[in-house]
Amino acid sequence: MTTLIRPPDKTAPKQQRRRGVTERQRPLWLLTPGGVLMILIVLIPLALALWISLIDLDQYSLRRWIEAPFIGFANYTESFSSGLLHSIWISVSFAVLSTVATVPIGIAAALVTQNAYRGRGLVRAIFLIPYVLPSFVVSTVWRTMLQPDGIVNKVLGDGSTLWLSGPRAYWTLVLVEIWAAWPFIYLMALAGLQSVDHEVHEASAVDGATWWPKLYKVILPYLRGPVLLACLLATLNHINNFTLPFVLFGAPAPDNVNVMPMLVYVTSFQSLRFGLSAAMAVVSLILVAIPLFIYLRAVRLDVHDEGGRR
């Protein structure tokens, strides 16, 4: 399929080879330090994670994992009976809800800072605060404010609402994540707004478009690409977010906020079932692989296709 779409690629390398000073003296050895290191610290551990998911590894066999018994897919079947599906559901719904909620906030923030006015620099800096603050700091602070005797309950005039356990915990997780993550959408939307040409504004002014039709029909289409990309990345980040639930609720987390990273963490470092948790982690990799695959399609990877000399 791909070869059908891109026949010119076949001739391009040949030309390059004929031209090529650069081609003949490719200093590929420069890849060795970074490449060897990546194989050692990334690829080997990843391969090992797959292997661990197929063996029965616990605290007793941990130090002698090479001798641990091979049990095939037993870890995978067991993981489905130990709450994996529940955690997948929590993770996915949490990630999608957070992303969907941050999009209008982020776009609104980009729109209000697009036109220059005095003090805009300050407003832009303020908008970045939640994003700049380390996640563990944000979680610690919200955890403190949401204590039963904390400031939030004091302001609401109710000393009994539980935010960090019970049925509200899930919504606490979503709300804090929204507070912390919307500036990312804002940044991407701002980048999109800056690609709107001057003429577009002039043309809609000449047409006498009022702000809402102009915004809806002219400006927002410009944002579709960057914001969709931002949504993919944001969803990936939400799914992988370990710090927020871990610091907010502690481990083990309440059942209704037991997201995938928490489940894997508790299974491995509290229950010490390393094989089982590796199987869960591999399943969570499959989960992120779907948005990741779409992202990899969308992002521009190949540098030789653009301008410059071949």
Partner 1 sequence: MSASAEAQRLLPRPLLVVLTALLCAIVLVPVLYIVLASLNSDVGVASGEFWPSSFSLHSYSRIWTTADLSNGILNSLIVCGVTAVASALLGTTTAYVLVRYSFRGRLTILRGLVGLQSIPGTLMLLPVFVLFSSAGNYLGLTVVGTRWGLFVAYLTFALPFSTWVMVTYLRGLPRELEEAARTEGASTLVILRRIIFPLSLPAIVVSGIFAFLLGWNDVLFATVLTRPETHTAAVALSIFGSAQEGGALPVYSQMMAASLVCAAPVVILYLIFQRYLVGGLTAGGVK
**Which residues between 257 and 296 bind partner 1 (CB under 8 A)?**
260-261, 264-265, 268-269, 274, 277-278, 281-282, 284-285, 288, 291-292, 295-296
Site for partner 1 in 105-134 (CB under 8 A): 105, 108-109, 111-116, 123, 125-134
Q: Does 90 bind partner 1 (CB under 8 A)?
A: no
Would you count residue 149 as binding partner 1 (CB under 8 A)? yes
Closest by Cα among 171, 175, 179, 172 to 129? 179
Closest separation in Å from C-beta 156 to partner 1 = 11
Burial status of residue 223 (CB atoms within 10 A of its CB: 0-12, 13-18, 19 or more): buried
Contact status: 2 vs partner 1 (CB under 8 A): no
Binding partner 1 (rule: CB under 8 A), the pick from 6, 13, 73, 224 is 13
User: For residue 70, what is the DSSP state?
Assistant: B
Q: How far is the CB of 182 from partner 1 (least distance, A)?
A: 9
Under rule CB under 8 A, which residues in 192-231 are in contact with partner 1?
198, 201-202, 204-205, 211, 214-215, 219, 229-230
What is the distance between the alpha carbons of residues 45 and 145, in angstroms, rounded to a whole number? 39
d(CA 13, CA 17): 6
Cα-Cα-Cα-Cα torsion 265, 268, 269, 270, nearest 10 degrees, comes to: 100
CB of 258 to partner 1, least distance (A): 13
Q: How many residues bind partner 1 (CB under 8 A)?
A: 117
**Helix (H), strand (E) at residue 120:** helix 120-132
Structure-derived torsion over alpha carbons of residues 223, 224, 225, 227, reported in degrees to the nearest 10: 70
Near partner 1 in 67-86, by CB under 8 A: none
Interaction with partner 1 in 175-194: which residues (CB under 8 A)? 179, 184, 187-188, 191
